[in-house]
Structure 1
Amino acid sequence: MEVVNSFMTWILKNRIGQIENFKHQPFRIQKNIFDELIEKGKYTEFGKKYSFDKISSYEDFARQVPVHDYEQLKPYIEKTMKGTQNVLWPSYIEWFSKSSGTTSSRSKYIPVTQESLEDCHFKGGKDMLSIYVNNYPESKLFTGKSLTIGGSLANNPLNGSSSSQVGDISAVIMHNLPLWAQFARTPSLEVALMSEWEAKIERMAQEVKDENVVSISGVPTWTIVLLQRILEITGAKHILEVWPNLEVFFHGAVAFGPYKNLFKELIPSEKMRYMETYNASEGFFGIQDEIGSDELLLMLDYGIFYEFIPMEEWEKENPKVIPLWEVELDKNYAILITTNGGLWRYKIGDTVKFTNTDPYRFKISGRTKHFINAFGEEVIVENAEKAIQAAADATSATITNFTAAPVYFGDSKSKGAHEWVVGFQTFPNDKDRFCQVLDDTLREINSDYDAKRYKDLALSSPKIHFVQAGVFQEWLKSKGKLGGQNKVPRLSNTREYLDEILPFIGS
């Protein structure tokens, strides 16, 4: 295995020169990608509608092609899912990544083309490894297995053919990995793609506990659930007793900060490394490339052309949109992407702040809307408002205000949850039913929340404080924000607001 490790490390390090190239020539690389995307899309249904054949510059593109959100691209995507090709992208599309939905859709389906698989998602995974072994030349990454924790696949719901499938992007990637990559990972593909999560965690734990796991890749939430189960099965005090050669956790999807202490408890070693990536259904965008830094390097040669909307422009009918070469440091921007997956000037909903422009490094600053995504559940305000109204209707309650935030894992045996403070004019006639309906409605309208709540594997049932309406007013008053346009934040991905409000309960 040492020979394999040396060979793979040498192969991966060869990519570093190309990464250095786009770091130092970002505009040339982005211009080349822009030209390729326009040429590829010229004869698609979308390209014909917006006269791609008349686009010869970025200015033409910005003038002719409007900014799109999911609802605006949805008709093109559904047409593709039903089997029509050459709608958004010229190559054949049979894979669709499923992610949390919008106000009117329980789930979103993002096209995954062969180009986006190979030139974006696969390339991102290889670059993650390249950067890692370049930073840690003594690594033994390829002397054992990589534990990958992904989602599941299902037949395309809009197409009777079993050849077209939908699933989490991790599952789509895993299913299509080359043979060498399949050999290097664990558990077996059959187990990795199971859809029943309780059985999946159990099978994974049983299958991987005796492997020589050197690295883990996944979302912190499910990784914790799996590691806890492995400790239960083996009776080990910590994971290094099970996998003594474990050296790195590659993580993404949710902020890692709240999980650091718990991972240190599960993996008590100062030598354990943590490396963040920023990948999503729509593409692979960033990699933590410097030791000791929490910044991400913007990956510029993955077939994605980037634009940005300053957040002060976000609510405007015609917001200002700028290309990469016009961004400024420490400003909050919403991301727009045009991709080799057939997304054109698409708002992905994330916001970033650039910390460096030579090369382009950034931090993820949040979402364009209030949300909770502490465990990968992606609950947005629209979800919360529908659920709380349903609960109020079911219990003859009248709500005046509410806010919610995550309850993070307290130790290696605890689970996450959502904690709500709900103000009432008329209290529910049945508080237990109120909690149940709120939870059930969220599960019904948000597939990611439903997955995390399944049999309490990652999220426990919501914790709700039933309070008098005046609690929120007292809190606002204490902050000098009573009246006017000041509002109680509906959702927050941190406990900043909730922890300020809780002392007012019962006061």
Structure 2
Amino acid sequence: MSLKALGAKIFAKYIRKKINKWASNPLETQERVFKSLLDQAKHTQFGKDHGFQNIETYSDFAKYVPIRDYEELKSYVNRVVDGEKDILWPGKPLYLAKTSGTTSGAKYIPLTAASMPTHINAARNAILCYIEETGNTGFVDGKMIFLQGSPEMEEKNGILLGRLSGIVAHYVPKYLQRNRMPSWETNCIEDWEEKVDAIVKETVDQNMTIISGIPPWVQMYFERLHKKTNKKIGELFKNFELFIYGGVNFEPYKSTFEKLIGRKVAGIELYPASEGFFAFQDSQKEKGMLLQLDSGMFYEFVKADEFFEENPKRLTIGEVEVGVNYVMLVSTNAGLWAYNIGDTVQFTNTSPYRVVVSGRIKHFISAFGEHVIGKEVDQALKEGADAIGVMINDFTVAPQVNPEGNELPYHEWFIEFQDSQNDVEQLAVEIDNALRKQNSYYNDLIEGKILKRLQITIVPKDGFKNYMKSIGKLGGQNKLPRLSNDRKIADRLTTMINK
């Protein structure tokens, strides 16, 4: 065992003990974070506008600070972007993470000196928890690749501006720099396809042991490696042990990855976002990701089926239940307050608190009152694909409200397969049955002949990649929405398919 591996084992035990301490005292931990946030921000403009000095309890906070999304917080964020100090958090942020907005164009999320370490430590701790649980350390001496956005940044009114993954690239610890790939020059390539080709060239003959990134973009990397070498990834990288991923549910990609790799590889799921690093998988034996309760973030939750009511009930960590779909709100040491990040989560455990991401509150299908969510379509596709042995590259789902002729409406599934398929009709039956088991509203609509069984439209090879490229969102942190309640994506895909 190398000195680095031995050091990793010792450090992993230390970190696991620290995590266990706050994870076993969740209510006290969140109360401490809550009071600290209010105390530090009481003299900011937001704190003054919302009476932070008068807030003593969570009930006070919920009364004085309404739920906001980016659009509703934008007047404050714009002042931060303009270079003003002490607006949402004391001083100026270190960075502005630029993300793609849906209705508001580009969004600028502050990253402060207080919040930045939590992004770095959570990713590190995920790996350390894996080491502590499994005892595996061999991978620490190999090469590690993190498929991410360009680390190049620009300056805006004295604040550095860039993509979150590119900002984080500046914080890779010195002891990992020698192992880290790709090179800085390659990481700065903006064109995603050119970047992937350069990464393939740099890594094809290296001892890669950790590979990390959003699954569809890692899949592209694997496919290019296979095309270049005609080898399975596991054969090419004999010591490849750990796949670290986040951003989308990995389950629909799992069988395709196993085929490309040629063997099973351990995985660690992360839940990072520009707004905060919320959770990570701390155990290979337990379902869900450990919610980061001691990382400068105070959490609130609203039941998803009540969220659009006029005054939905806001819950703290001690009031949540396993298996319920919640919209997650965060108040953070980057200056976000009762902020709706747009995600929905479900708790898999409350001792300690572990979550899975179930979807996006705005990404669902309820054209007929069925309220189908992301977790349901992910699970239905996995069950259907496993039942008939097909592998999926990517997919998205939209309602077809006005089909031609006298047909009943239906859900249209756009699916790109790994190989050509002849069992599309049977797959549609399997997916539909799996979805009906999960969602009683959808089942009732099918039984009541309001909807007919879902229909599958085959997307040609690289079809989703070409779609993302056509809207300027190929690679990096960009993700294809799983669900839409309209046909904007569906109609564009249909046009591209029929060209």
For the aligned pair, the TM-score class normalised by the smaller chain equals: 0.7 to 0.9
Q: Does 1:304 align with 2:302?
A: no
Is the Cα–Cα contact under 8 Å of residues 89 and 342 in structure 1 kept in the other structure?
A: yes
The count of aligned residue pairs is 416
Is the Cα–Cα contact under 8 Å of residues 222 and 458 in structure 1 kept in the other structure?
A: no
Could you say which residue in structure 1 is the equivalent of 2:418? 410
Distance change >3 Å, CA 380–CA 26, structure 1 → 2: farther
Structure 1 runs (4+) deviating above 6 angstroms are 372-381
Which of 215-224 and 192-201 deviates more? 192-201
CA drift of 1:93 comes to 1.3
Could you say which residue in structure 2 is the equivalent of 1:253? 247
Is the Cα–Cα contact under 8 Å of residues 348 and 356 in structure 2 kept in the other structure?
A: yes
Distance change >3 Å, CA 127–CA 376, structure 1 → 2: farther
Q: Does 1:49 align with 2:49?
A: yes
Q: Does 1:213 align with 2:208?
A: yes
Give SS of 2:329's match.
strand
Pairwise mapping of residues 476-491 of structure 1 onto structure 2 (< 5 A)? 489-490=485-486
2:173 and 2:64 map into 1 onto residues whose CA distance is 39
Could you say which residue in structure 2 is the equivalent of 1:237? 231
2:479 and 2:95 map into 1 onto residues whose CA distance is 27
Distance change >3 Å, CA 201–CA 27, structure 1 → 2: same
2:235 and 2:13 map into 1 onto residues whose CA distance is 31
2:86 and 2:177 map into 1 onto residues whose CA distance is 31
Is the Cα–Cα contact under 8 Å of residues 85 and 92 in structure 1 kept in the other structure?
A: yes
Identify which of 275, 293, 316 aligns with 2:268. Answer: 275
Could you say which residue in structure 2 is the equivalent of 1:112? 111
Give SS of 1:164's match.
strand
Mind listing any 5+ residue stretches in structure 2 that lack a counterpart? 365-372, 379-391, 402-407, 421-463, 490-499
Give SS of 1:335's match.
strand
Could you say which residue in structure 1 is the equivalent of 2:139? 141
CA drift of 1:191 comes to 1.6
Is the Cα–Cα contact under 8 Å of residues 403 and 491 in structure 1 kept in the other structure?
A: no
Could you say which residue in structure 2 is the equivalent of 1:165? 161
Deviation by residue 1:268-327 (Cα, 9 ceiling, x = unmatched):
124x11121111111111222222433222121111100001123211111111111111
Give SS of 1:14's match.
helix
CA drift of 1:342 comes to 1.0
Which of 57-66 and 243-252 deviates more? 57-66
Is the Cα–Cα contact under 8 Å of residues 144 and 180 in structure 2 kept in the other structure?
A: yes
**What code does the residue aligned with 1:45 have?**
Q
Pairwise mapping of residues 311-322 of structure 1 onto structure 2 (< 5 A)? 311-322=304-315
Is the Cα–Cα contact under 8 Å of residues 397 and 411 in structure 2 kept in the other structure?
A: no
Is the Cα–Cα contact under 8 Å of residues 15 and 127 in structure 1 kept in the other structure?
A: yes
CA drift of 1:14 comes to 1.0
2:79 and 2:169 map into 1 onto residues whose CA distance is 26
Distance change >3 Å, CA 178–CA 3, structure 1 → 2: closer
Identify which of 452, 456, 470 aligns with 2:474. Answer: 452
TM-score w.r.t. the length of structure 2 is 0.75
Could you say which residue in structure 1 is the equivalent of 2:89? 89
1:111 and 1:303 map into 2 onto residues whose CA distance is 14
Distance change >3 Å, CA 377–CA 225, structure 1 → 2: closer
Mind listing any 5+ residue stretches in structure 1 that lack a counterpart? 389-399, 413-438, 460-487, 494-507
- Percentage identity across paired residues of the two chains: 35
Give SS of 1:450's match.
coil
**What code does the residue aligned with 2:234 have?**
L
2:176 and 2:189 map into 1 onto residues whose CA distance is 19
Distance change >3 Å, CA 144–CA 151, structure 1 → 2: same
1:41 and 1:121 map into 2 onto residues whose CA distance is 20
1:377 and 1:226 map into 2 onto residues whose CA distance is 15
TM-score w.r.t. the length of structure 1 is 0.74
CA drift of 1:409 comes to 4.5
Q: CA RMSD in A?
A: 3.7
CA drift of 1:379 comes to 9.1
Give SS of 1:67's match.
coil
Deviation by residue 1:434-458 (Cα, 9 ceiling, x = unmatched):
xxxxx99x86xxx99532389xx99
2:410 and 2:237 map into 1 onto residues whose CA distance is 44
Could you say which residue in structure 1 is the equivalent of 2:150? 152
Is the Cα–Cα contact under 8 Å of residues 329 and 353 in structure 1 kept in the other structure?
A: yes
CA drift of 1:489 comes to 4.8
Distance change >3 Å, CA 95–CA 458, structure 1 → 2: closer
Deviation by residue 1:52-100 (Cα, 9 ceiling, x = unmatched):
1111221221111111111011121122112112111114314122223
Give SS of 1:452's match.
coil
Identify which of 210, 222, 225 aligns with 2:217. Answer: 222
Q: Does 1:334 align with 2:330?
A: no
1:91 and 1:12 map into 2 onto residues whose CA distance is 34
Is the Cα–Cα contact under 8 Å of residues 395 and 414 in structure 2 kept in the other structure?
A: no
CA drift of 1:329 comes to 2.0
Could you say which residue in structure 2 is the equivalent of 1:469? none
1:110 and 1:377 map into 2 onto residues whose CA distance is 28
**What code does the residue aligned with 1:242 have?**
L
Pairwise mapping of residues 470-481 of structure 1 onto structure 2 (< 5 A)? none
